Amino acid sequence: MATGDSTIRPQASTATGVAKVWHAVIAFFTLVLRTNTGRIGLAVVGIHVVLALIGPWITPFPPTEYHIQDQYSSPTSTYWLGTDEKGRDIFSRVLAGARSIIWIATAGTILGVTFGTIVGVTSGYLGGRVDQVIMRIVDWFLAIPSLLLAILVINMATQRFRSVDESFIIIGIIGISFMPNNSRVIRSATLAIKPLEFVQSARLRGEPTLYIMFREVLPNVLPVVGVEATIRLSFALLLTAGLGFLGLGVQPPEPDWGKMVSENAIILDVAPLASLAPGIAMASLVVGINLLADGIRQAQNLPETGDR
């Protein structure tokens, strides 16, 4: 018995690297595919992600190429969704625009959720005075309007430094503005786990506080983190698009959905698809992500978070 086990066990632990990730991926998909909501959401988001990834290879034209003779074209077999005032192919621009917005929103969300989770678990687990102080600071962050902060920081940064990548500033701002809400949700999930007996027995074993927080408590709040991250992602997309609409974000002439909607709004009567197409792309992605989040939540029987 003992010899058999000592030979089997190390193998099992070396195989964990790839196998564990693979198991997690399989588990995620079976979870999402359990409900209709999740299936539709996954399909919509999947199409978006795949198109964004292979976009550069399937765009019929370079997205920044001018076709002066073909201004304001209606959808034709050459230009599938028509062209804008400079004769640029709208289909190519929508495809290319997906990349930047998905990258910025995802990176910002991951930043905010990671930060928020650390703050939430710490504050919830430690409790008492520490919790009071952390939560008041979080409240203070909550009072900052993210859009105004973004405008302020981007303007200051572009004045101070000539060449600055605005997308990293936006990622940072999404991270900062999502941290407070996220940490509150994670904190309340932690508060539900903290009094449970297995946490108490870890304390009685004399485990270090950090070990208890991140080895014992964190795995139990991860389902909440997952749903929270998915919901936040759609907000991040809307914020990024909103900044693009106001002219902040990806530098022209690179395509950006928000900017395309705003700059083509004046030619809505001649080339309606020039602003509608990126708008529809945006809306379908946000709806898809929300469906996905609902699907995960339904499959896990988690209650709806009132904090939206």
Partner 1 sequence: MTQALQQDAPLMQVEDLAVTFYSPNGTFRAVRDASLEIARGEVVGLVGESGCGKSTVAFAMMGYLPGTAEVEGAVRFEGVDITTLSTSELMELRGNRIAMVYQDPVTSLNPSMRVGPQVEEVLLRHLDIDSDAARTRSVELFESVGLADPDRIGRRYPHELSGGQQQRVVIAMALACDPHLLIMDEPTTGLDVTTEATILDLIVELKDRVNAGILFVSHNLGVIARVADRVAVMYAGEIVEQAPVRELFKNPSHPYTAGLLSCVPQPPGDDGVERQLSSIPGTVFDAQTEQAEECLFAPRCPLAQESCTTQSPPLVDTSANGHPSTGSGDHLSRCFFPGDVTSNLWGEALARVEKTHEQDRGPVLNIEGLRKFYGGGRKKYILFGPPVARPVRALVDVDMKVGSGRTIGVVGESGSGKSTAARAIVGLEPKDRGSLELHGEDLEGNVHDRTEDQRSAMRMVFQNPTASLNPKLPVGHAIVRALRKFAGVNKQESTQRAEELMEAVGLDPTFLDRQPTELSGGQQQRVALASAFAANPDLVVADEAVSALDVSVQAQVLNLLEDHQRETGNSYVFITHDLGVVRYISDDILVLYAGHVAEYGPSQAVLNVPSHPYTEALLSAAPVPDPDAKPTHIRLEGSVPTLRGAFTGCSFAGRCPRKIGDICDTTPPPTQDGPEGDNHFINCHIPISELESLQKADSGARAIAG
Q: What residues line the site for partner 1 (CB under 8 A)?
A: 1-2, 5-6, 9, 34, 132, 196-198, 200-207, 215-216, 219-220, 222
**Length, in residues, of the chain:** 308
| CB nearer partner 1, residue 117 or residue 234 | 117
Q: Minimum CB separation from partner 1 for residue 1, in Å?
A: 7
| CB nearer partner 1, residue 68 or residue 204 | 204
| CB nearer partner 1, residue 132 or residue 251 | 132
- Record the tokens describing residue 179, joined without a space: 């941290």
Q: Minimum CB separation from partner 1 for residue 20, in Å?
A: 13
Q: What is the largest CA-CA distance in the chain?
A: 81
Q: Which DSSP string do the residues of the chain spell out, in sequence order?
A: -HHHHHHHHHHHHHTHHHHHHHHHHHHHHHHHTTSHHHHHHHHHHHHHHHHHHHHHHH-SS-TT---GGGTTPPS-SSSTT-B-TT--BHHHHHHHHHHHHHHHHHHHHHHHHHHHHHHHHHHHHH-HHHHHHHHHHHHHHHTS-HHHHHHHHHHHHHHH-SS--HHHHHHHHHHHHHHHHHHHHHHHHHHHHTTSHHHHHHHHTT--HHHIIIIIIHHHHHHHHHHHHHHHHHHHHHHHHHHHHTT-SSPTTS--HHHHHHHTGGGTTT-THHHHHHHHHHHHHHHHHHHHHHHHHHHHTPPPPS--
Q: Minimum CB separation from partner 1 for residue 290, in Å?
A: 24
| CB nearer partner 1, residue 29 or residue 168 | 29
| CB nearer partner 1, residue 2 or residue 148 | 2
| CB nearer partner 1, residue 162 or residue 205 | 205
Q: Minimum CB separation from partner 1 for residue 117, in Å?
A: 15
Please state, in angstroms and rounded to a whole number, the distance separating the CA atoms of residues 113 and 229: 6
| CB nearer partner 1, residue 58 or residue 203 | 203
Q: Minimum CB separation from partner 1 for residue 137, in Å?
A: 15
Q: Minimum CB separation from partner 1 for residue 132, in Å?
A: 8
Q: Minimum CB separation from partner 1 for residue 141, in Å?
A: 20
